[in-house]
Structure 1
Amino acid sequence: KKGKKGKKKGKKGKKGKKGKKGPKDLTPDRTMDSLIKELVDKDILQLASNFSVQDFVGQHRNLDMIERKALDPTPPEASLAQIRQAVVEQLILPLGSQAVHEKAPFVNKALIYGPKGCGKTMLSMAIARETGSNFFNLSARNLDPGAPGSGRTKYPDKKGANSAVMMLHMVFKVAKALAPSVVYMDEVEWTFIADKKKLKSQWPGEKPPSRFLKDFLKEVKFLKEEDRILILGNSRRPFFAEKGDLKKMNTFFKDFKLFIPLPDYPSFQAIWRSLILRNKGVITDALDFQTLAWITKSAGYTPGAVDAVCKKVLTQRRLQRLPIKPLSHSEFLPHLAKIDPIFKEDYEQFMAWNLKNNPQGKQEPKEKKPKAEKAKAGKKKK
């Protein structure tokens, strides 16, 4: 009897191999077209906005590098040009090119975080557009079913055809079949928050986003190296997830975290120029870009604030009058004063979180490890 029990245990141990085959197909009788139609109707499979990586304007931090003190222990912020380069090399190229995907290291989970208006959504849309990817929006707010009678019917059930399990199955089945694909999650911290008190007091939706997490993680586990799928999380307050919730989020996005800082002075000059032209403005000598860049940099404004101001100033009526009255930098300042900047204490919170939770943004003390190893070696000799 003991021998037979031992054999049965041995058979149970082989269950791990079955898991590698992939998830069970919950929709074997449905065509790919019908799955795509449902995801489009539910506003989950979307058309990404027409942004290019070149729209993420920014320069290298040459001035900052000169001004930095030699003994400053804090690592420098990445420049916007470096961020653009990192996105192209580590996310866009491996996702968009099958040849690069097969030969180069590939990241399939990435977290982009920073203050509101710094360009996270633009970069996410640009990644999808540049790679020709399908864009699946699994953001917490987009998946909320809404209150009864609201008209929203986004998979409120726990089981069955109108459940989260079925929705996630369809998303990943279509994403694999139509790769490359981007699975986008805005305000991704909400998906990882299981704290009931925090959800009850601060989540604005009808049902907690964490109800998707268990099944979502299961689907992600079944992704293979050859699957050209990128799980792309955005967050404007990653520090909102705490303790166990934060640990889950950090573990999930451990391979790639990218902090987008506020632009520096040269970047703001380039941003003002780019956004005025994008909003059909005309640049003349009457525009003092140095003043505009200095004010936005010193006050702590974001590119999103600059874009909002440009849209306010460059109305159809104002564009018609440009040949008679050229644009002046003084026209933008009253509108800029009505927008709240990113306050110093809020930005410092981002910096502190980045140093603590992001390996790429953390300067490790290299001397401590060898000393610890020497101490262990000394004890062994004794």
Structure 2
Amino acid sequence: TYNQLWADTQSELTQLLAAELPPEPLRPEKDRVVFFQRLAVLYVRYLQVFRDLEIAYDQVVHPQKRVVIRANLDGVMGRLLELKNEMVEKEFSEYHYMDDVLHDLKLTPEDLEIPIPRHFISECSKDVKERKEMVAKIIKTMEITEGSQLAMDKEMTQEVAVKIIQVAERRRQGQLRAKLNQESKNMNRMYRNKDPQIADPELAAVCIQKVWKGYVQRKRTKIEREQEEILLGMAIDPKYYSTLPSEITAQENEAQTRITQQEHEEDYQKCIVAITNQLRDVEGHDIGQTMKDQIRQWFFECDATGTFPDYPDDEEGGSALIFAEKSPQQEEEAGLKMLPSAFLADLVIGNKMFDYWKNRDESKNYNQKHEVELIKEEKRKEIEAEIRLQVDEQMRQELAEWKLSVDKEKVGKAKANAKKKKGSKSGKKKKKEKDLTADTLESLCQELAEQGILKQPENVKMKNFLDYSYLGTTLRQNDIEPMPSLSDVRQVLSLYAILPLSQFVHEKAPLIKAILLAGPAGVGKKMLVHAICQETGANLFDLSPLNTIGKYPGKSGVTMMLHVVFKVARLLQPSVIWIGDAEKMFYKKVPKEEKELDPKRLKKDLPKSLKLIKGEDQVLIIGTTNDPLSADIKGLCKMYSKIILIPRPDYGSRILWKQLIQKHGGKLTPALNLSSLSKISDGYTPGHIVKVIQTVITKRRILQQAKRPLTAVEFVEPLAKIDPVFQEEEEALKQSWYAKTPLGKKRIKAATGQDEEEASAKSAKGKDTKK
């Protein structure tokens, strides 16, 4: 099944590569809308390939096939990020609405979901797992120590003790008073209902029958209504609420697949070591001799021309560079065209590697073990690379002796030029970051945990964000900028924060160092930070202004704090550095009540530390703010390369009432009108909704649900006590602030046509200068 899925996916990938790498280059597109449509179609198709490859990689057990699938999976992930980056640059928006593309390709909104690859956490290296366990152990120890210390340090005054006794006594007296009142009411009711006359037995029987028949009929009607809803597909059959035997079997099969994958991988690695040693001993001498003969032939050809070129350095590829084919350069044309890709070449290679398995008969390899001959072919190339280094060293010496014998006078000049070249390559020495700490990693982690900077992320997932925008394209076609839904936010963060934390993708994909999440309080910004850490297995560092108060005082203390945080973050990568209330660091004017807190103490040093993050560092800074208007927008935009606007939930997103009520122990019945709740909660954030649900669904209310089901009216009163986020506030954030960000300015220019006018003016200037 999964081999067939892989084959079908590779066929689709082949078509995509043929479209992206045609025999003749595509002409630049003049129309921006047409060009974006081409990008959107490519993006959606690559996303489908990504989803299928992720499933195939998770279930295939053949170790060598998994290597090929993984290479293609990483390449497709990287290409997705490149296309996303290109769509942002062409449409000047972080959010894109492709419901029209989904309609044309006959896909559903669920097909746009970005799957989180399961191997991010399951295939961590042994060192990474050990470091994560060490950090978790340190944080847990610190929490236990702090809890016991607080309990010991907490002293109870006489006033507090008296108050506790009074509260307990008043509670006891109140319970007794309520019990006596209830008994009194029961006695009064009994005497009031007592009829001195003897009741008619026939009337009593009719009364009992009436009550019983009404109860039975209501119960029968309820069952019939439920069966009808199940038949029409409006409700789920109760038998599906419990785990079916087939589901249990599927889960057991998946667990067995993981075990089989691990066993096959161990056998594969042992075989690689054995075959490598065997090839090095048996074929190593012949490979080296063949290389020397080829290089000597090159010497003879150069000698015939009368000039000896410089021997390529090892960094450039050594003698392999001599025999490499060079591709011709192509002239560039003006207009909109695809940016150069760092992943297409890898995808082409991965697609060719699939050809080995495409028509291979594996009827005799039922257990899907590794292929020995394929290992030999792969390891020969590695052994050739090892031997080439030794051969190059010998042949450089031989070339030098040859040159000396041909022309002794040019030897001195050649050596001088060689020294100059070596000196020019080194250039200016880069300043290395000074290591201010010589402590062990464990001691540094313990220090950060004691200071409350290194934290354990909460157990939340990205799938908790729901909903999809179905009218985005239609609104944009009518010059109305739609507000993104929670689903759009989730997809953008999966592309910007989760997929790039993969090692292979991170090194080649467009580098994103810092992301700012801006939106009203309660929309889930902090939850998203913790979800990113959980999905990638990243460690969480909290550098929020309010969290660093009084820690590492003084200018030297700030330098030391940032040095320790970034050093540990690199050693424990992937890592996320969270800056809550990011606007405080860039205040236009610090409020009087916060001047003593010094919220701007990291303003100068943190951007400097940000520059130290390189392409190979899996470190991401995430800032969150609910009041960006109070900050200097230039400082924020300089610090954060990506600014994600998170709006208040729309009607579709507010359906999360259902999930949250069930999560807190509430039962959904026809008496609870969720549609009305979603309608009246316009302007309220998920944080507000959670607060209201916690107020209504108490332990006592959960016990009463059997006799008194939940209703929408119960949630109205606590909801009315909370101030919502009004549409005017959201529009002010969108128009007054986000429109002034670099991307917002570009979008306004593009909408008014200024961008095209500037481009045409630049091209006209270029023609004038050529003339």
Deviation at 1:217, TM superposition (A): 1.9
Shift of 1:16: 6.4
For residues 287 and 334 of structure 1, what CA distance do their matches in structure 2 show? 15
Q: How does 1:198-217 map to 2 (within 5 A)?
A: 198-201=589-592, 203=594, 206-217=596-607
Inter-CA distance 223–63: structure 2 relative to 1 (3 Å threshold): closer
Aligned pairs for 1:26-65 within 5 A: 26-28=436-438, 30-56=439-465, 58-62=466-470
* C-alpha distance in structure 1 between counterparts of 2:619 and 2:533, whole Å: 11
Amino acid at match of 1:212: L
Equivalent pair of 2:513/2:610 in contact (CA under 8 Å): no
Q: Would you say 1:288 and 2:673 are equivalent positions?
A: yes
Matched, 1:248 2:635: yes
Q: Deviations over 1:324-351 (max 9, x none)?
A: 2211111111110011101233222211
Question: In the aligned structure 1, how far is the partner of 2:447 from the partner of 2:515?
Answer: 27
Identify the match of residue 371 of structure 1 among 738, 743, 757: 757
Q: Among 621, 624, 646, which residue is 1:231 paired with?
A: 621
User: Residues 220, 15 of structure 1: CA spacing in aligned structure 2 closer, same or farther, 3 A cutoff?
Assistant: farther
Q: How does 1:111-190 map to 2 (within 5 A)?
A: 111-145=516-550, 154-159=551-556, 163-190=557-584
- Residue type of the alignment partner of 2:478: L
Q: Is the 8 A contact 1:257 1:358 kept in 2?
A: no
Alignment match, 1:359: 743
Whole-angstrom distance in 2 between the partners of 1:354 and 1:231: 20
2:305 is equivalent to residue 305 of structure 1:
no
| Structure 1: unaligned runs, 5 residues or longer | 1-13, 146-153
Preserved CA contact (<8 Å) 1:287 1:328: yes
Instruction: Provide closer, same or farther for how the CA distance between residues 338 and 369 of structure 1 changes in structure 2, counting only shifts above 3 A.
Output: closer
Deviation of 1:132 (Å): 0.8
2:659 and 2:700 map into 1 onto residues whose CA distance is 21
Tell me the secondary structure at the aligned position of residue 183 of structure 1. Answer: strand
The alpha-carbon distance between structure 1 residues 70 and 131, as it changes in their structure 2 partners (threshold 3 A), is closer
Letter in 1 for 2:437: T
The Cα shift of 1:308 comes to 0.5
Whole-Å Cα distance in 2 between the matches of residues 331 and 16 of structure 1? 71
* Structure 1 ranges of 4+ moved more than 3 A: 14-17, 63-66, 68-71, 360-364, 372-376, 378-382
Q: Which residue of 1 aligns with 2:768?
A: 380
Specify the SS of the correspondent of 1:125: helix
Deviation at 1:100, TM superposition (A): 2.6
3-state SS, counterpart of residue 99 of structure 1: helix
Shift of 1:358: 5.5
Letter in 1 for 2:446: K
Match of 2:482 in 1: 76
Output one character per residue of 1:97-123: Cα deviation in whole Å (capped at 9) or x when no partner: 223323433422101110111111111
**Cα RMSD for the two superposed structures:** 2.4
Aligned equivalent of 1:266: 652
Equivalent residue number for residue 354 of structure 2:
none
**How far did 1:31 drift?**
1.2
User: How big is the shift at 1:142?
Assistant: 0.6
Q: Is the 8 A contact 1:190 1:210 kept in 2?
A: yes
Q: Give, in whole Å, the separation in 2 of the partners of 1:283 and 1:169.
A: 52
Q: Partner of 1:140: helix, strand, or coil?
A: coil
Question: Does the CA contact (< 8 Å) of 1:75 and 1:363 recur in 2?
Answer: no
Once the two structures are superposed, what CA deviation does each residue of 1:24-55 show, in whole Å capped at 9, x if it has no partner?
00012x11111111100110001111111112
Answering whether residue 422 of structure 2 is matched by residue 25 of structure 1, we say no
Cα displacement (A) at 1:360: 6.4
1:255-301 CA distance string (max 9 Å, x none): x11101111112112x101111121211111111110111112xx11
In the alignment, what sits opposite 2:165? none
Rounded to whole Å, the distance in 2 between the matches of 1:48 and 1:238 is 25
Match of 1:325 in 2: 708
Residues 218 and 368 of structure 1: is their aligned pair in 2 closer, same or farther, counting only changes over 3 Å?
closer
* TM-score normalized by the length of structure 1: 0.83
Amino acid at match of 2:579: M
2:672 maps to a residue whose letter is L
Letter in 1 for 2:505: V
Give the fraction of aligned pairs with identical amino acids, expressed as a percent: 39
CA contact (8 A) 1:257 1:360 kept: no
Structure whose alpha-carbon radius of gyration is higher? 2
Q: Distance in 2 between matches of 1:184 and 1:375?
A: 43
Q: Give the secondary-structure state (helix, strand or coil) at the position aligned to 2:430.
A: helix
